[in-house]
Amino acid sequence: MQLRVLQATLMTVLLAVLLLGIPLGAAWLTAVRDNLSAQAGTLLQDVISETDHRLNEGLPIDETMLQETVDQVVNLDVQIAVTYQNTELEAGEDAGADALQQSAQGVNGQIVTVRIPQSDVRAHTASAWVLIIVAAISAIAIGVSVALWQAQRLSAPLVRLTRRAEELGSGRSRSEWRPSGIAEIDTVAVELTRSGAMLTERLEAESALASDASHQLRTPLTALSMRLDEILATSSEEWVREEARVSLEQVDRLTQVVHDLINAPRSSQRRTPGVVDLRQVLVQQAEEWKHAFRGAGRELRIQVPHAAAVWASHGPLTQVIATLIENSLAHGGGTTRVKVRRNEQSTVIEVVDEGAGIDPALGQRIFERSVSGKDSRGTGVGLALARTLVEDDGGRLELIDERPARFGIFLSTAPAPEDPELADTEVQQPSDPGKAHGLVARREKRRAERHQREAAASAAHALEALATDARSTQRAGDASADGALH
């Protein structure tokens, strides 16, 4: 800002010097020459008057008289010549052939010539040039000083306004704007403060709504989880136990989503990815979606290496894969394939089906919010949210092919224990009882962790309720004491 104001002022001053200074300088030089000519004319008239007087008195004209006149001239080297009756008299140094001269004839016929050498003319012209240059430099210096002052006057409030905007963006600014004296900047600052306050109120309201809704969802989820645990523990039929295990897995994931919604307003930091076992996640998805695909007369095939791990967050990655599988079930056709390809640096999870695919006109806009196909009944949020979740873990979600639709989740490969005897496996049905037992053990561990979190949260709420009751009791006691004193 300061540099732009300084440049604009300098350009203005330079243009003023060029447009006004050059004509004024030329006029000044002409005036200097005219002044020298006027001085020569005055001196000429004085010499003519003096010679006419001497001739009228019968006195001779000599060089001594002319030299005395030359000596009386200050700041000029002049030469005076008088021609009378074929006699020429001169006084002063030779002015040269290119001298500035003036001549006139007296009453008695004498011819008087006054010459000023070009050296004196150039000296007076150079003095004029020096004054012109000094005036131009002074004008530029004054312009620079005014520009610096004006730039400082304008930039300081703008710097404050920028800092104010940063503080409003981070939610740290609560003080009032101190007027800067510049109406436009003050107006922007006031409107920025008002908009920031409105935005903060709206975000707080949305965060409170999400937190309240999530908190209300925890109680029925806990009851549902306990009921499923009871069915899993008491039922002797394997298919019932299997459905209970799958349902518990879904409840666990939903509980984690609710927990994230509760904690999201309390933290502005991005989550830190961890190591996620893709085989465990995809086997779980195969178990959850098998009945839905079977009911639609379709098939879900999952191909994943035994040792496949990525840097991601378990819950969000599971949600993203479920979103892609659900979209394939709702809008695709034929067999849906989920395939994992990996190398030492990156891992790609591809989800593709045999349906008609996505309209090319829609293309990459499929990831924009509120954008969905013309035959879709969805809200257009699922894929946009899925891309956000993947990007938060440092990955990418891309539409690789449009017809048939092929989505790819690109993540960084994480170190995993390698077993040379294990090869890539295609999963179509739930794992065998031994593997299911391992899954049950992991689920039991997660449920124990969940119960611990819920117990801690319940204790915190109980302590907060006790503190609130204590404050209410204290206020009631203070009010009673005040009534007794009155």
pLDDT tens sequence across 54-93: 888 888 888 888 888 888 887 778 888 888 888 888 888 8
What is the mean pLDDT of the segment spanning 192-210?
78
Contacts of 266 (CB under 8 A, 6+ apart): none
pLDDT value at residue 347: 94
Q: What is the layout of strands, in order, in the sheet containing 100-105? A: 87-91, 79-84, 111-116, 100-105
Helix axes 433-485, 238-263, angle to 10 degrees: 40
Top pLDDT among 423 and 248 is at 248
Q: How confident is the model at residue 337 (pLDDT cuts 50, 70, 90)?
A: very high
pLDDT digits (tens, 9 = 90+) for 359-414: 877 777 888 877 776 666 666 678 888 898 899 888 999 999 888 889 999 999 99
pLDDT at 8 over 90: no
Query: What is the mean pLDDT of the segment spanning 5-13?
Result: 77
Of 76, 16, 89, nearest to 42 by C-alpha is 76
**What pLDDT is recorded for position 135?**
83
Task: Identify the pLDDT of residue 351.
Answer: 94
Q: Supply angle C-alpha 250, 271, 390, rounded to 5.
A: 65
Q: State the average pLDDT over residues 6-28.
A: 78
Q: What is the pLDDT of residue 424?
A: 47
* Whether the predicted pLDDT of 164 surpasses 70: yes
> Which pLDDT score, from 0 to 100, does residue 395 have?
92
- The Cα-based distances of 373 to 136, 350, 365 in angstroms read 71, 21, 10
CA 181 from chain centre, in angstroms, equals 26
Residue 425: band (very low, low, confident or very high) from pLDDT cuts 50, 70, 90: very low
What is the pLDDT at residue 430? 42
In this prediction, residues 134-138 reach a mean pLDDT of 84
Amino acid 397: pLDDT = 93
Checking if the pLDDT of 293 tops 80, the result is yes
Mean pLDDT (the chain, rounded): 77
Instruction: Determine the pLDDT at residue 340.
Output: 94
pLDDT at residue number 311: 92
Looking at residue 411, its pLDDT comes to: 93
More confident residue, 486 or 447: 447
pLDDT at residue 477, rounded to an integer? 44
Give residue 287's pLDDT band: very low, low, confident or very high (50, 70, 90): confident
Q: Indicate if the pLDDT at residue 329 is higher than 50.
A: yes
Q: Residue 264: pLDDT above 80? A: no
pLDDT of residue 310: 93
Q: What is the predicted pLDDT for the residue at 87?
A: 83
Per-residue model confidence as pLDDT tens digits over 205-227: 877 777 777 767 777 877 888 88
The pLDDT of residue 483 is: 39
pLDDT at 417: 54
Label residue 452 by pLDDT band (50, 70, 90): low
The percent of residues above 70 in pLDDT, for the chain, comes to 78
pLDDT confidence of 36, banded at 50, 70, 90? Answer: confident
Q: Which of 310, 289, 309 is nearest to 301 (CA)?
A: 289
Greatest alpha-carbon span in the chain: 161
Residues facing residue 101 across a β-bridge: 115
Tens of pLDDT along 304-328?
988 889 999 888 899 899 999 999 9
pLDDT attached to residue 124: 77
Q: How far is CA 264 from the centre of its chain?
A: 25
Give the rounded percent of residues in the chain with a pLDDT score beyond 90.
13
Query: Does the pLDDT of residue 166 top 80, yes or no?
Result: no
Sequential DSSP letters for 90-156? EESS---TT-EEEEEE-TTS-EEEEEE-HHHHHHHHHHHHHHHHHHHHHHHHHHHHHHHHHHHHHHH
Cα–Cα distance measured from residue 165 to residue 171, given in angstroms and rounded to the nearest whole number: 10
Which segment of 133-142, 202-211, 353-362 scores lowest on mean pLDDT?
A: 202-211
Can you give the pLDDT at residue 385? 86
Query: Is pTM, for the whole model, over 0.75?
Result: no
User: 3-state DSSP helix/strand/coil percent for the chain, to nearest 5?
Assistant: 60, 15, 25
pLDDT range class, residue 268, cuts 50, 70, 90: very low
Quick one: pLDDT at residue 247?
82
